[in-house]
Amino acid sequence: MSIESSSAIIIGSGISGLTAAHKLQNAGYSVTVLEGSERVGGAMYTHSENRWLAEYGPNTILETHAKIKNLITELGLDEEKIYPGSVSSSRFIVKDKTLVPLPLSPTGFFTSPLFNWKSKLNLIREPFIPKWQNNYEESLSEFVLRRLGQNFLDYAVNPFVAGVYAGDPHKLSVRHALPKLYQLEQDYGSLIKGQVKKAKLPAQNEEIPRNKAKMFSFRKGLKELPETLASKLKTPIQFNAIVKHGQKVENGWQVEFQQNNESKTLTAENLIYAGTGHQLANCKIINNKELDLSFGNEIEYPPVSVITLGYHQDQVQHGLNGFGLLVPGVENLQILGALFNSSLFPGRAPENHVSLTVFIGGVRQPELALETEEKRLEIAMQDLGILLGITGSPTFVFHKQWKKAIPQYNVGYGEIKSKFQRLEKDNIGLYFTGNYREGISVADTILHALQTADQIISTNNIN
C-alpha cells in the first residue's frame, strides 16, 4: 500500500481539529477531516432565530496570543469580529441573593462588601506565606485556603471556576487547572509579588497576559470561526463519520469509519485525534498491539445545561450593565451563573428586548443539568426572578444540554497528560489535540492545535 507523504487524517471537526487541519493544509499537507456528527464546530456552534442569537457552548474567545489574532486575520474574519463594550469589565458575584460588583482594583477589594475583614487581612499577609514545597499535589481549594482563606475561596474562586470549568475547586488541581496561578507561587513565592513583578516584565513569545487580552466574538456568533475554517479545506469534511478503529500500517495509519451504514477506510501518514477525551475510550487503535485508551474514561466530564432566554426589557428590573453574574456554591441557588448577552454584543436580541444565557449543573449540581427541559427552564426562571427581578415568561427560549461538557483537570491530571505524551512518543505519526491537553479555553485549544501541526511539520521535515 502506498501512502501519500505529507498527508493527515484528523478525527473531529471542533475548533482543535479544524485549526490543525488549516495549518497543515497551508504547509502543503493533504488533509481529510472525519466528523462523527452532521456539523462542524463541536462545542462551538450558534443558533439564530428571528433576530435572537444563542450560543451552544462558548460565548467569547480571549485573545491571549498573537497567533489567535493572526489566525482570524488570515481567515479574512477581521471585519466580522466584534468586541464587547466597556460594560463587559463589570462582573457580578451573588452575595445574600443580591448582585455585588467584583472589585477590579486593590482599593475596590478593601472596600467591597463581598469580602470580610479576615479576607482583607489575608491579602496583606499573602506575600509573607511561604511557598509550597511538598510533593503532595494540592487541589485548588487547598491552595487558596493556605494563601487567601475561606472567604476568598467562597466568593472569588468558587464562582470563578464554576464559570470557567463548571468545576469544583475541591477537585480541580491548582497545578493543572490554573497553571499560571500555580507558577506565580513557584516563581515568586507569592501571588501578589508575582503579579506585580510579572506586570513589569516584557510579554513573552507574543503572549498577551489575561488581564490585557481582549475578548471577542463574531457578528453572526462564534460558529463563524469553525465554518470559515471548514470552507477553506480543499477536501470536504466527511460528516456522520464516526471513527472507531485505527491501525498502524507501513509508513502511516489506516482508519476505519462508519458512514451511512457503510464501512469505509482511509490511510495517511499522520493521524490526529481531535475528538473528546471521553469518546477516545470508545476507539480502538492498534500498533502491533492495542493501545490503552481506556484512561479517556477517567477524565471527569460533568453535564452542563445552557439556556438562552429572551425577555422584553420591561420585564427585567436589573440594568444588566455587565458581563454577567456568577453564583458561589455557598449561596444555595440552583444556577451556576448567567451571561448578559445582549449587553455584551449588539444584535443578539430584537429591539427593546434583552437576552441572557444561564448555565445549570456542572460538578456542583450535575443532576440539575440532566432534568427535563421544562424543569431546567423553571430553575432558570426561578433564580433569575430572585436575582434580576425578572417577571413573566420569556419570549424566546433556546436549550442546549451537554451530557459531557468540559474536561476537569482534577488532582492527578498530570498522569493523564503523561499518558498522552507517552502515546505520541511511542507511536510515530499519531497525535492528540483537544481541550483535554493544555487548557480548556478556545484560546488554549487553538494554541495546542497549532503546536501539534507545527510538531508534525517539523518532524516530517527532519525525516
Ligand X SMILES: Cc1cc2nc3c(=O)[nH]c(=O)nc-3n(C[C@H](O)[C@H](O)[C@H](O)COP(=O)(O)OP(=O)(O)OC[C@H]3O[C@@H](n4cnc5c(N)ncnc54)[C@H](O)[C@@H]3O)c2cc1C
Which amino acid makes up residue 233?
L
CB of 402 to ligand X, least distance (A): 5
Stretch of residues binding ligand X (CB under 6 A), selected from 34-42, 196-204, 227-235, 325-333: 34-42
Question: Residue 32 or 445: which CB sits closer to ligand X?
Answer: 445
Cell of 120: 482583607
CB of 155 to ligand X, least distance (A): 21
Contact flag: residue 344 with ligand X (CB under 6 A)? no
Question: Restricting to residues 109-138, which ones interact with ligand X according to CB under 6 A?
Answer: none
Contact flag: residue 429 with ligand X (CB under 6 A)? no
Contact flag: residue 435 with ligand X (CB under 6 A)? yes
Question: Residue 362 or 394: which CB sits closer to ligand X?
Answer: 362
Contact flag: residue 161 with ligand X (CB under 6 A)? no
* Residue of 8, 20, 43, 178 that binds ligand X (CB under 6 A): 43
d(CA 444, CA 436): 10
* Residue of 9, 20, 34, 333 that binds ligand X (CB under 6 A): 34
Question: Residue 123 or 225: which CB sits closer to ligand X?
Answer: 225
d(CA 305, CA 215): 23
Backbone φ and ψ of 411, nearest 5°: -55, 130
Question: Residue 123 or 309: which CB sits closer to ligand X?
Answer: 309
Residue pair 293/280 in contact (Cβ under 8 Å)? The answer is yes
Residue pair 455/461 in contact (Cβ under 8 Å)? The answer is no
Per-residue interface string for the shown chain with ligand X, residues 4-23, x marking contact by CB under 6 A: -------xxxxxxx------
Give the DSSP H or E segment for 284: strand 284-287
The sign of the torsion formed by the CA atoms of 401, 403, 407, 411 equals positive
Give the DSSP H or E segment for 101: strand 98-101
* Residue of 442, 447, 453, 456 that binds ligand X (CB under 6 A): 442
CB of 173 to ligand X, least distance (A): 17
d(CA 439, CA 409): 9
Task: Please state, as a whole number, how many other Cβ atoms lie within 10 Å of the Cβ of residue 19.
Answer: 28
Contact flag: residue 361 with ligand X (CB under 6 A)? no
Cell of 387: 436575582
Radius of gyration of the CA atoms of the chain, in A: 23
CB of 462 to ligand X, least distance (A): 27
Contact flag: residue 357 with ligand X (CB under 6 A)? no
Stretch of residues binding ligand X (CB under 6 A), selected from 124-132, 187-195, 263-271, 402-410: 402-410
CB of 216 to ligand X, least distance (A): 11
Q: Which residues of 91-119 are buried (b: 16+ CB within 10 A; e: fewer)?
A: bbbbbeeebbebbeeeeebeebebbeeeb
By three-state DSSP, how is residue 226 classified? helix
Question: Restricting to residues 227-246, which ones interact with ligand X according to CB under 6 A?
Answer: 241-243
Residue pair 406/440 in contact (Cβ under 8 Å)? The answer is yes
Residue pair 277/436 in contact (Cβ under 8 Å)? The answer is yes
Question: Residue 57 or 159: which CB sits closer to ligand X?
Answer: 57
Question: Residue 148 or 344: which CB sits closer to ligand X?
Answer: 344
Question: Restricting to residues 61-90, which ones interact with ligand X according to CB under 6 A?
Answer: 61
Number of residues that bind ligand X (CB under 6 A): 39
Residue pair 293/426 in contact (Cβ under 8 Å)? The answer is no
Question: Restricting to residues 263-302, which ones interact with ligand X according to CB under 6 A?
Answer: 274-276, 279, 283
DSSP structure string for 344-403 = HSTTSS-TTEEEEEEEEETTTSHHHHTS-HHHHHHHHHHHHHHHH-B-S--SEEEEEEES
Question: Residue 122 or 445: which CB sits closer to ligand X?
Answer: 445
Question: Residue 141 or 452: which CB sits closer to ligand X?
Answer: 452
Site for ligand X, rule CB under 6 A: 11-17, 34-37, 42-44, 57-61, 241-243, 274-276, 279, 283, 304, 306, 402, 405-406, 434-435, 440-443, 445
